[in-house]
Structures are given as C-alpha cells and as structure tokens.
Amino acid sequence: MTSYLTNKITMGLASVILLSGISLSASAATVVSGKLSQADANQLESWLGQGPIDLTNIWSGTTGALASDWHNAVDGAGPTLSIYDVTHEGNDYLVGGYTITDWADTSGFNPDSEAFIFNLTTGIKEIPEQHDHVQYAVVSHLMYFASFGAGHAFHGGYGIVGNGGYADPSSSFGSYSDGNIINGTISRVHFQINGLETYTVLSAVPEPRVVAMMGLGLGLVGFMSLRRRKSEAAA
C-alpha cells in the first residue's frame, strides 16, 4: 500500500511540476547570455563533469577586436570557457579551452590541473597529457587572447581578433600522435579567427520553487508511511 501511495504522490508531483513549466533536467546547461547553442552547451557541461552549469557570456568580439578589451572583461572573472569561431582550409570549427585560473595581463605560463582544450565541431577534448605538463596549461600575456599549452597547443592570436591563430600537436595537451586540436594532423596548422566568445562557468542552483515542491512530495510520502505504521499498530 505504501509503495502504491508513494508512486501516486510522486506521479502527482511530477504532473504539477510539468504543468508549472519547471524543468528538473540535470543534463541541460543554461546559456544565460551569448550565442552558444544548447547542444554545444550540453557537450561542454558533460566535459566539465560538474553537474548542471550556467554559462554567461562576458565578452564577444569579431575580427579587429582588441586583446586589451578582452582582458578588461575577463581578468578576475573566475573559471571561463573561451570559444573561437575559426576557419581552416574552407572548414569552419568551434574550438577553444577552459581554465579555472585568472586571465591576468602578465606574461608566462599558469598551472591548471582542470584545464582542457576542445573542438566542439569534431567532438574532441584534450587534457594535459602528463602531470608535469599541467604547469604549462594556460598561457597568459597582455596581448594574447585565451591560449593554452607549451608550443602552443592552441594560440588564440595576438593583439586583435584575427591575428595569428594556430594549433600545434603538443605534449602539453593530448600527445603528439593525437595531432592538433583543429583537424588532428601531426603538424602545426594556422587558421583564420572569425570571432571569440568568453563565458563564465557557475554551478547551477535549483530554483527555490522546485526545491519546495520536492520537499512537499517527500513530506507527503513520509506522512503516508507514518499513518500506515500507526494503523498497523492499532490493528
């Protein structure tokens, strides 16, 4: 009987949530602002492995946008995903990288054990290959856009969007035999950068009304179970 009532209450709660338009999906990232597609946002959420996330666009730039403007927007913003729209040999790709470190406007490498680079178009993700390469994960420079790895595994250009992007097969990310992040060949490739978007990454918090409804449902289940036990004791 308890199991039957529990199922009915659970089904009823689900119906209320459905009718109210509340989503309980744990696998759909929320794009707060920006042009990132839902499918690409979900893929990035899966790669991050942190559960539901909110992605908020904090900077967008096309050909000619300044690195100084990018730094003004992203320095000190916390964990970020930078996604480039690039063209190589007539093919378009969405590529970039993730870091939990700050994009300071100083020069040098920053360690980041959580960093990775990716190609959303081909579905490829690469992490630092060996522990000692983590120290070279993030490349910071006053005139650089988001860049990763010694070599560099991914270079987002110098000074202005559209200037000098390339990807090198690097032992910093993946292995040399994995090839570069653009097309997988074991050689450096240069590409045209058409635009860049940088997003902050925050863990999503359930809506208060969702939590309240779930608590109501669990409370009803507990009440019915207690009532059943009292009835059995009285019998």
Residue 148 near residue 139, CB atoms below 8 Å: yes
pLDDT at position 233 is 55
Q: Is the peptide bond before 152 cis (omega within 30 degrees of 0)?
A: yes
Residues with Cβ < 8 Å from 214, sequence gap 6 or more?
A: 13
Domain residue extents for the chain: 1-28+208-220, 30-203
Q: Is the peptide bond before 71 cis (omega within 30 degrees of 0)?
A: no
Question: What is the sign of the dihedral through the CA atoms of 142, 145, 147 and 153?
Answer: negative
Structure tokens at 84: 């480039």
Reading the chain (235 residues) residue by residue, the pLDDT tens digits are 444 434 443 444 444 333 444 444 445 899 998 899 999 999 999 999 999 999 999 999 999 999 999 999 999 999 999 999 999 999 999 999 999 998 987 789 999 999 999 999 999 999 987 656 788 999 999 999 999 998 899 999 999 999 999 999 976 898 888 899 999 999 999 999 999 999 999 998 765 544 444 454 445 444 445 455 555 555 5
> Please, what is the end-to-end C-alpha distance for the chain in angstroms?
16
pLDDT at position 128 is 86
pLDDT at position 160 is 98
d(CA 103, CA 141): 8
pLDDT at position 217 is 46
β-bridge pairing 30-33 and 53-62 = parallel
pLDDT at position 209 is 47
pLDDT at position 190 is 97
pLDDT at position 221 is 41
pLDDT at position 27 is 56
